Structure 1
Amino acid sequence: MKLGVFAVLFAQKPLEEALDYIASKGLEAVEIGTGGYPGNAHCKPDELLADAGKLKAFKQAFDSRGLTISALSCHGNPLHPQKAIAQSYHDDFIKTVELAQRLEVPVVVGFSGCPGDHEDAKYPNWPVAPWPNDFQEILAWQWENKVIPYWKETGKFAQERGIKLALELHGGFSVHTPATLLRLRDAVGEVIGANLDPSHMWWQGIDPVQAVHILGRAGAIHHFHAKDTSLDVNNVNKHGVTDMQSYTQMLDRAWQFRSVGYGHDLKTWADIISALRLVGYDYVVSIEHEDGLMSVDEGFSKAVQNLQQVLIKEPVGEMWWV
């Protein structure tokens, strides 16, 4: 495995300065934002697709520092019921797939999106309860008319270009659990896989180790984010895990994102890394830092230090004791 980072946390730094800093920490891979919610501070797909010289220089910035690009990330809602919004996210995603092909980056990360509840809706509708039965009817309509058709078309586009799509399992979107990811994969094909982020499993009550096994046995983990979550039992009892308070309300929230090791101990993270190796995932572990208690530098540095203790990097080799 290689240790990497989702570089949007260094968006205020010029690309080469950010890469120097990342390389100085001993990392080997970088995940780059290309649009959507993460923005495109370090990578402008339109410019790189239009200029071979700029594309070559961009790639050289990584190669010269011994870094690989693990994924291009373009998180958005291409299923948004407002067509102009959906089209913008879709266009960014398609350009990202095209750029990944040109850069020989094997994975594009994004969200599944979430539609509205009918053709004239203005806002997404995320059903999370089976009753009243209206919610089941909405869910069926969304998957049959929006989610599956969109990803069949987009998946075909990516597959023809040799790109795997890693959808992040994230609350608020149609694909948010191992089961919903596998449902879409069954409908679309193996081009669809997970960008598995344990932080989003923990707050939903899903054990990330078991999520690794469920998805990994199906060969459905295309990318991995390393981010932690802490849960406050008293606040969970007060607000539930679907706490709608702003992430800034840290003292009163049911749960919050933390840097690796500050929500769960390193034994838990060692179990996750071991499970990844067990199911055959030996690609990049990409640090994502969204810890409201730590600065960018400190939160990132702590995650690097903690993951370096548990990451499994060398090939297995033969079982000499057997």
Structure 2
Amino acid sequence: MKLGVFSVLFSGRSLDDALDYIASKGLEAVEIGTGGYPGNAHCDPDTLLADAGKLKAFKHAVESRGLMISALSCHGNPLHPQKALAKEHDELIRKTIELANRLEVGVVNTFSGCPGDHEDAKYPNWPVAPWPNEFQEILAWQWEKKVIPYWSEIGSIATNAGVKIGLELHGGFSVHSPGTLLRLREAAGDAIGANLDPSHMWWQGIDPVQAVQILGRENAIHHFHAKDTTIDPINVNRHGVTDMQSYSLMLDRAWQFRTVGFGHDLKVWADIISALRLVGYDYVVSIEHEDGLMSIDEGFTKAVQNLQQVLIREPVGDLWWL
């Protein structure tokens, strides 16, 4: 395995400064945003696709520092019921797949998106209960008319480009759990897999080790984010896990994101890393820091220090004791 970071954390720095800092921490990989919710501070697909020289220079900037690009990330909602927003995010996904192909990057990360509840809807609708029965009707319409057709097409485009799609399992979107990811993968093809982030499993009540096992047995983990979550034992009983309060209200929220090791101890993280190795995932563990109690530098540095202790790097080799 290799240790990396989602570089949007350093969007305030130039690309060269960000890469120098990342390399100075001993990391081996970088995940780079191309637009959508993460922004494109370090990587504008339109610019790089239009100029072969700039594309070559961009790739050299990363590789000359001993780094690799683990994924290009363009998180958005290509299924948004507002057609203009859906088109914008769809076009970005297609451009990012093309850019990944040219850069020889194997994974594009994004969200599945979430449609509305009918063709003329204005906002996404995320059903989370099977009753009243209209919720089931909405869910069936979304998957049959929007989710499966769209991702079947994108999966085919990605396959032809030699690229895998890593959908981040995130609340508010149609694909948010191992089960919903596998449902889509079965319908849309093996190019569709997970960008698995344990932080979103914990707040949904899903054990990340089990999520790794479930998805890994299907070879459905294409990328991995390293981010932690803590659940407040008092506030969760007041607000539930679908707490809608702002992330800034950390004292009152039911749960909040933390840097690695500050929501769950390193034994838990060692179990997650071991599960990844067990199911054959030996790609990049990409740090995503969204801890409201720590600065960018401190949160990132502590995540690096903690993960360096539990990351499994070397090939297993022969079982010498047998």
Matching residue's letter, 1:105:
V
Give SS of 1:205's match. Answer: coil
Distance 1:180 1:11 in 2: 32
Alpha-carbon deviations, 1:89-130, whole Å to 9, x = none? 011111000000000000000000000000000000000000
User: What is the aligned partner in structure 1 of residue 206 from structure 2?
Assistant: 206
Runs of 5+ consecutive residues of structure 1 not aligned to the other structure: none
User: What is the aligned partner in structure 1 of residue 146 from structure 2?
Assistant: 146
Q: For residues 274-285 of structure 1, what are the structure 2 equivalents within 5 Å? A: 274-285=274-285
Distance 1:64 1:175 in 2: 37
User: What is the aligned partner in structure 2 of residue 115 from structure 1?
Assistant: 115
Distance 2:141 2:233 in 1: 36
Distance 2:63 2:286 in 1: 18
Give SS of 1:233's match. Answer: coil
Q: For residues 88-103 of structure 1, what are the structure 2 equivalents within 5 Å? A: 88-103=88-103
User: What is the aligned partner in structure 2 of residue 248 from structure 1?
Assistant: 248
Q: Is 2:293 the partner of 1:306?
A: no
Alpha-carbon deviations, 1:5-59, whole Å to 9, x = none? 0000100000010000000000000000001000000001000000000000000
Aligned residues: 322
1:226 Cα deviation after fit:
0.1
Q: Is 2:266 the partner of 1:269?
A: no
Matching residue's letter, 2:163:
I
Distance 1:68 1:155 in 2: 24
Give SS of 2:238's match. Answer: helix
User: What is the aligned partner in structure 2 of residue 65 from structure 1?
Assistant: 65
Matching residue's letter, 2:118:
H
Give SS of 2:180's match. Answer: helix
User: What is the aligned partner in structure 1 of residue 6 from structure 2?
Assistant: 6
Distance 1:53 1:67 in 2: 20
User: What is the aligned partner in structure 1 of residue 235 from structure 2?
Assistant: 235
Matching residue's letter, 2:235:
N
Distance 1:46 1:157 in 2: 18
Alpha-carbon deviations, 1:231-264, whole Å to 9, x = none? 0010000000000000000000000000000000
Runs of 5+ consecutive residues of structure 2 not aligned to the other structure: none
Identity %: 80
Distance 1:161 1:154 in 2: 10
TM-score by length of 1: 1.00
Distance 2:194 2:242 in 1: 22
User: What is the aligned partner in structure 2 of residue 53 from structure 1?
Assistant: 53
Over 4 Å off, 4+ runs: none
Matching residue's letter, 1:120:
D
Distance 2:165 2:201 in 1: 19
What is the root-mean-square deviation in Å for CA atoms of aligned residues?
0.3
User: What is the aligned partner in structure 2 of residue 161 from structure 1?
Assistant: 161
User: What is the aligned partner in structure 2 of residue 29 from structure 1?
Assistant: 29
1:84 Cα deviation after fit:
0.2
1:63 Cα deviation after fit:
1.0
